[in-house]
């Protein structure tokens, strides 16, 4: 967007893009490196100017085709760009607040309940972000069926139970069906 609307280039773009291609969990590592912080700061520094430029072009009122996941199925619908931006922003803000009371993922024990941000739903696995520097995976058939039956979709925050740890560092999870407002 910086290039498209302002003709500016993030000086860390190439370096970070290469790193992200080589590591799918690049942004989950903690602490963030100085390059990651510089990239992120440059990416948001110009957002008010990009917004003004886009607003002047009536970009936000344009209809777009969006993929919506419901009940484990992907549908396409049309929506206004600004609705999509607001919806996605709300989901990302929620992610920033999950598991804040956990200082280090290595302190997690089997049977601990935590929150997970659903980032990808496949036929036999659900990938989750945990805001802990590691990813979570849901692999058991019962959990995957319940996620689909309860119409959970990408961006939803769900309560999960830690059931194991993979050698790769991922945390194995079980979907725990309970309304979020009931979580203590």
pLDDT in the model for residue 183: 45
- Report the CATH number at residue 139: 2.40.50.140
Domain co-membership, 83 together with 112: no
In a domain, 160, yes or no: yes
Domain co-membership, 20 together with 84: yes
Tens of pLDDT, residue by residue over 19-29, are 888 876 787 77
Residue ranges making up the domain that contains 42: 2-95
Domain co-membership, 175 together with 91: no
Domain finish residue from 65, 95, 125: 95
pTM greater than the 0.75 cutoff: no
In a domain, 78, yes or no: yes
Alpha helices in the chain (DSSP H): 13-22, 34-45, 47-56, 81-95, 141-149
In a domain, 87, yes or no: yes
Domain co-membership, 12 together with 91: yes
- Helical packing angle, 34-45 and 13-22, nearest 10°: 120
Q: What's the total number of domains in the chain?
A: 2
pLDDT in the model for residue 182: 44
């Amino acid at each position: 967007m910086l290039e498209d609307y302002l003709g500016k280039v993030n000086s860390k773009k190439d370096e970070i893009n290469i790193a992200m291609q080589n590591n799918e969990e690049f942004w989950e590592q903690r602490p963030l490196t100085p390059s990651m912080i510089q990239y992120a700061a440059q990416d948001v520094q110009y957002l008010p100017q990009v917004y003004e430029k886009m607003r002047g072009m009536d970009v936000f009122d344009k209809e777009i085709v969006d993929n919506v996941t419901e009940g484990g199925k992907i549908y396409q619908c049309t929506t206004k760009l600004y609705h999509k931006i607001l919806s996605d922003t709300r989901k990302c803000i929620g992610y920033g607040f999950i598991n804040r009371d956990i200082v280090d993922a290595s302190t997690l024990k089997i049977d601990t309940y935590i929150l997970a941000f659903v980032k990808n739903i496949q036929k036999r696995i659900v990938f989750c972000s945990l805001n802990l520097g590691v990813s979570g995976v849901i692999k058991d058939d019962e959990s995957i069926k319940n996620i689909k039956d309860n119409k959970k979709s990408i961006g939803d925050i769900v309560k999960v139970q830690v059931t194991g740890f993979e050698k790769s560092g991922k945390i194995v999870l079980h979907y725990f069906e309970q309304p979020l407002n009931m979580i203590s």
